[in-house]
Amino acid sequence: MSALNRTPEGIPRHIAIIMDGNGRWAKQRGMPRIAGHRQGYKTVRRIVQQSLDLGVEALTLYTFSVENWKRPSEETGAIMRLIGMAARRELANLHRNGVRIIISGRLNTLSQEIRRALDQAMTVTRENQRLVLNLAINYGGRAEIVDAARRIAALVREGKLDPQEIDEETFSGYLYTPELPDPDLLIRTSGELRVSNFLLWQIAYTEIWVTPVLWPDFRESHLLEAVEDYARRQRKFGDIPQESKASV
């Protein structure tokens, strides 16, 4: 995947989105929160299509966090049903468009029905190469790091891995999606200035763009704005610009 490197100049190869504000969108209209999630799903469809059009390689969507289970069971149950329904309903269209679906998160604790729908989506689309759609479901950034540490510790215990060999690259290889490049751009809607336990390892040098727009109101024009802003930034990865080196 990262070897392909075929994203057009200036376009982020990997965009990650914290889709926030569904509840507020619904509340502003006197509707139940799940109406906001349903509207948010419509935004997901638009943004996946636009990512295909732009030539983005990977799109990661924060769909359900490990902390979201604290919400009332009516809401968590409704979100899970929406995810299962979307996975079944969108599969043929995504497959036709060359989208590969992968999931980041602790899937083993989800209901069998959801797991089956997600497993099928991953299996059917596994050879597709146009866009990787990574859905973070029952996902936590710390949980992901803990899960990687457990896998590494088990290999060390079995004598299959030497602790001295573990470096950042080795560690990345045990995260949920070792095949994806780190996100270039992280978008958060609804104005909150937090990363909320999302991709903690992977966003070390990611550019962040926050908009006050609520996720159900997020449109193609907003994504374009984010991408244009990203294209104007100078990414330094801890270095200094080349032209400044003469004046050190």
From the list 20, 22, 134, 184, the catalytic residue is 20
Of 19 and 175, nearer to ligand FPP (C-beta) is: 19
Instruction: Closer to ligand FPP by CB, 22 or 206: give it.
Output: 22
For the beta carbon of residue 157, count every other beta carbon within 10 angstroms. 9
Name the strand (E) or helix (H) holding 177. none
**Buried/exposed 189-218: b ≥16 CB within 10 Å, e otherwise:** bbeeeebebbbeebbeebbbbbbebbbbbb
> Is 167 tagged catalytic?
no
Residue 129 backbone phi and psi in degrees, to 5: -130, -5
- How many amino acids of this chain bind ligand FPP (CB under 6 A)? 19
186 binds ligand FPP (CB under 6 A): no
Q: Which of 15, 22, 125, 176 binds ligand FPP (CB under 6 A)?
A: 22
Shortest spacing between CB 21 and ligand FPP, in angstroms: 4
Reduced 3-state DSSP string for 118-153: HHHHHHHHCCCCCEEEEEEEEECHHHHHHHHHHHHH
Stretch that binds ligand FPP, among 17-25, 146-154, 155-163, 224-232 (CB under 6 A): 17-25
Say how far apart CA 172 and CA 198 lie, in whole Å: 15
Cβ partners under 8 Å of residue 169, min gap 6:
none
Retrieve residue 113's tokens: 């029905």
Scan residues 82-111 and list those touching ligand FPP (CB under 6 A).
82-83, 86
CA distances from 162 to 65, 145, 149, 152 (A): 33, 19, 14, 10
Which positions from 54 to 83 touch ligand FPP by CB under 6 A, shown as an x/- string? -------x-x----x----------x--xx
Min dist CB 173 to ligand FPP, Å, is: 26
As measured in angstroms, the least distance from the Cβ of 32 to ligand FPP is 11
Catalytic positions: 20, 68
Residues that bind ligand FPP (CB under 6 A): 19-24, 37, 40-41, 44, 61, 63, 68, 79, 82-83, 86, 135, 190
